Amino acid sequence: MKPLTITRRMNGKMDGMYALNTSPSNNPFCQAMMQRSDLICSHCYSPKTEKRYKQTKPAWVRNGNILSSRLLKDDEINLIKGRDVFRFDAHGELINRTHYLNLVKFAEINESVNFALWTKRPDIVHDGGIVKLANMIYVYSTPKLNVLKPKVPKDFHRVFSVYTPDFIEENNIMINCGDKHCADCRTCYEFNNVVFINEELKRGT
């Protein structure tokens, strides 16, 4: 029995994707960020998902506890079958360096799968050195809404930003995320020339 739970059923644009998630409820960084109205985290949909699908929170809390507490052995890593792309942290955020290194090991073990890590914490990735792999893409998720000229952290491949409708109209922001399911689009999960991924803030979040 592998110790971690892989989420194989996602909703919305993530339909059809597999992900390794953790819960914001036991992540101090997430809890602090969700209190600030100027940050995208104040619109976080993970708590709503955990309430709607009761089985998710215990599994994601357990994932976070395991990933952040010790380095996993090779035989504890889930083998990803039937998918060639995979999402790290569709829900949740990096907790510490140990968490990050375990994700790296996931990518190393599953070398035929392209992994994409979304994170607002490049400090964790850089503290001790970023691990560059041929199948791991780093996406910096800007914490603030409506960043006009987001910067790409060193050694990251792209930046993901969210904008309100008014800001999009006033600043002529090109929205290139949201029209397709991620499993069909794959822009974020492939090595290409697209650096800036822009999404409109979902209504009701």
Asked whether residue 205 carries a pLDDT value surpassing 70, the answer given is: no
Residue 7: DSSP 8-state: B
pLDDT of residue 1: 74
Asked whether residue 203 carries a pLDDT value surpassing 90, the answer given is: no
Q: Give per-residue pLDDT as tens, 31-50.
A: 999 999 999 999 998 999 99
What is the model's pTM? Answer: 0.95
Q: How many residues does the chain have?
A: 205
Quick one: average pLDDT of 3-18? 94
For residues 130 and 124, what is the distance between their CA atoms, to the nearest angstrom? 9
pLDDT of residue 160: 98
Residue 144: DSSP 8-state: B
Element (H, E) at 98: helix 97-109
* High-pLDDT (> 90) share of the chain, %: 95
* High-pLDDT (> 70) share of the chain, %: 99
Residue 27: DSSP 8-state: -
Element (H, E) at 28: helix 28-33
